[in-house]
Amino acid sequence: MEFFWSTVETINRNECKGFEHFDTGHILWLVLFVCAALICAVSYKRKSSAGRRKQRLVMASLLLLDEMLKYVIVTMNGVSVTHYLPLQLCSICIVIIILHGLFTRGDPSQGISLYAGNFLYLVGLAAGLSALIFPSWMVLPAFANMMSIHSFTAHILFVSYIIMLMAAKEIRPEIKTIPVSVAALILMAFGVYWFDLAFDMNYMYLVSLSAGSPLGPFEALGDYRIGYAVILAGLVVLLYLLPKLFRFNSR
């Protein structure tokens, strides 16, 4: 447990081996994710409105504590917090979920919550699942390092949050929200890209690819970032247009 509190920047990679894609540790985390998502979705769907609000509050609080622990560990290691600002796409979604869980009191499928929920549905679900399947922290041990545990648990919590709202139909896919979600994502990307260039960072992986990224094949097209547009278009078709077409044809 010598490297339990190390970060990606401080761990001795010669003495401490991380994990690999779909090795035993990675698969075990994915199994835990599936179990957590199912438990959260089933329990949430069965609860009353007050019970659902309490469950959202609990999960948002757990995410907040998980994020606070991250900054404690980073500070302990003497690493600049600049490397851990909430500017990754998953981190942005986590902030949205914390605010959603702590402050949504009425129907989560109405008002501003409708747009927040659809952003999480279109962008957050894919981002969180991608991070769990293609983790960028594989230099750390899967279970014998707190930052690795944090990375898995934070993504499990936030994806499970989205899934439980979908199970209760409190995230209602609305085509009218697509332009808002896409515009918000583009504005975020421009802002983060400027920050990356100004401070030599790689938030949202807009400057360079992470190891094992599913965007790798798009490098053959000249710029892997083309993959973001292709994937986003595919998600719009898969999550919004195809279900609507299926419902229309089934009438």
Neighbours of 211 (CB within 10 A): 11
What is the model's pLDDT at position 65? 97
Alpha-carbon distances, residue 127 vs 16, 98, 101, 155 (angstroms): 28, 17, 19, 9
Calpha distance 206→196 (Å, rounded): 8
What is the model's pLDDT at position 249? 52
Q: Do residues 56 and 64 lie in contact, with contact meaning Cβ atoms separated by under 8 Å?
A: no
Q: pLDDT 10s digit of each residue in the chain, 251 long?
A: 789 999 999 999 999 999 999 999 999 999 999 999 999 999 999 999 999 999 999 999 999 999 999 999 999 999 999 999 999 999 999 999 999 999 988 888 888 999 999 999 999 999 999 999 999 999 999 999 999 999 999 999 999 999 999 999 999 999 999 999 999 999 999 999 999 999 999 999 999 987 777 788 888 888 999 999 999 999 999 999 888 776 655 55
**Single pTM value for the model:** 0.94
Alpha-carbon dihedral sign for residues 212, 218, 219, 223: negative
What is the model's pLDDT at position 221? 84
What is the model's pLDDT at position 2? 86
What is the model's pLDDT at position 244? 77
Tokens 């679900």 locate to 125
Q: Do residues 159 and 125 lie in contact, with contact meaning Cβ atoms separated by under 8 Å?
A: yes
Q: Do residues 240 and 173 lie in contact, with contact meaning Cβ atoms separated by under 8 Å?
A: yes
Alpha-carbon distances, residue 201 vs 77, 157, 225 (angstroms): 19, 26, 16
The number of helix segments (H) and strand segments (E) in the chain equals 9, 0
Alpha-carbon dihedral sign for residues 169, 170, 174, 178: negative
Q: Which of 144, 67, 142 is nearest to 98 (CA)?
A: 67
